[in-house]
Amino acid sequence: MKNKIPLVLATRNSGKINEISAMISGLPFEVLSVEQFPGCPESSEPFSTYLENAKDKAKVVGDFCQTWALADDSGLEIQALQGAPGVLSARFAGPGATYRDNWEKVLREMDHVAANQREARFCCYMVLYHPSGKSFQTLGEMKGEIATTAQGNQGFGYDPIFWLPERNRTLAQLELSEKNKLSHRTKALELMVPHLEEISRSVSQI
C-alpha cells in the first residue's frame, strides 16, 4: 500500500504523544497531532469513568478532523487511598495542578502507609474512533507500588513515584523504550494492533 492512513492522536499530553508515536511507528498509519488541525476542540473529560472520557476524547477529535482518532484516558489507582486519584489523576491536586503538585499530594497522603501496603496500578482505556461511527476499545494495566520519595526524571505524570519492585526503580528512572515494554498504554495499544491491522488491510483493498 502506497499511502499511509491518517490517524490523529487525540491528546495534547506530550508524554503520551511520544510514547504512542514510538509504539505505532511500524504500522502503516500517518500519525498526526491535533496541533495540525487549527481550532480542533478538546473534550472536557466530563464523565466519571475512564471509558466514557476516552470515547468522548476520540469522538470530539475524530469528528472534527474527519479521520481515525486514537485517545486514551488513563489514571493511577492506589489501594491505600481507596482507588484515588483514579479518573481524576490529571487534576488530583486541583484544577491546573502540575505533575509535581499531583505526585507531592500522593506522597503526603501516603506518608503514614506501611511499605507492604503501597500497591498501586496504572490503567489505560484506549479508544480508536472513526467518524463513520466505527470504534474499538481496549484496556491495559500495570502493577507497581508507590515509592516513599520521587526518583528519576524520564516520562511524565506520576512516573517519579511509581515503583517497580522487579526493576528496583521508578518508572521515571527507565528509558522511554524500557517503559514502553511494560506500560499500561503499551498493553492497551498491543490489544488495539489487530484492529489497526484490519483497518489497514481493508483500506489497501479499496
**Binding footprint of ligand ITT on the chain (CB under 6 A):** 11-13, 16, 45, 57, 73-76, 89-90, 99, 102, 122, 155-159, 183, 185
In whole angstroms, the minimum distance from the beta carbon of 42 to ligand ITT comes to 7
Output the nine-digit C-alpha cell for 34: 491535533
Nearer to ligand ITT, 28 or 120 (CB): 120
Torsion of CA 127, 20, 23, 102, to 10 degrees: -110
Give the H/E segment covering residue 72.
strand 68-78
Nearer to ligand ITT, 91 or 200 (CB): 91
Helix (H/G/I), strand (E/B), else coil: 12: coil
Contact 198, 191 (CB under 8 A): no
Q: What is the rounded CA–CA span in Å between residue 132 and residue 134?
A: 6
In whole angstroms, the minimum distance from the beta carbon of 15 to ligand ITT comes to 7
Q: How many CA atoms lie within 13 A of 108 on its CB side?
A: 9
Nearer to ligand ITT, 28 or 140 (CB): 140
Q: Can the peptide bond before residue 160 be classed as cis, meaning omega within 30 degrees of 0?
A: no
Task: Give the active site residue among 72, 73, 101, 159.
Answer: 73
In whole angstroms, the minimum distance from the beta carbon of 6 to ligand ITT comes to 19
Nearer to ligand ITT, 28 or 67 (CB): 67
Is 73 a catalytic site residue? yes
In whole angstroms, the minimum distance from the beta carbon of 56 to ligand ITT comes to 10
- Active-site residue set: 73
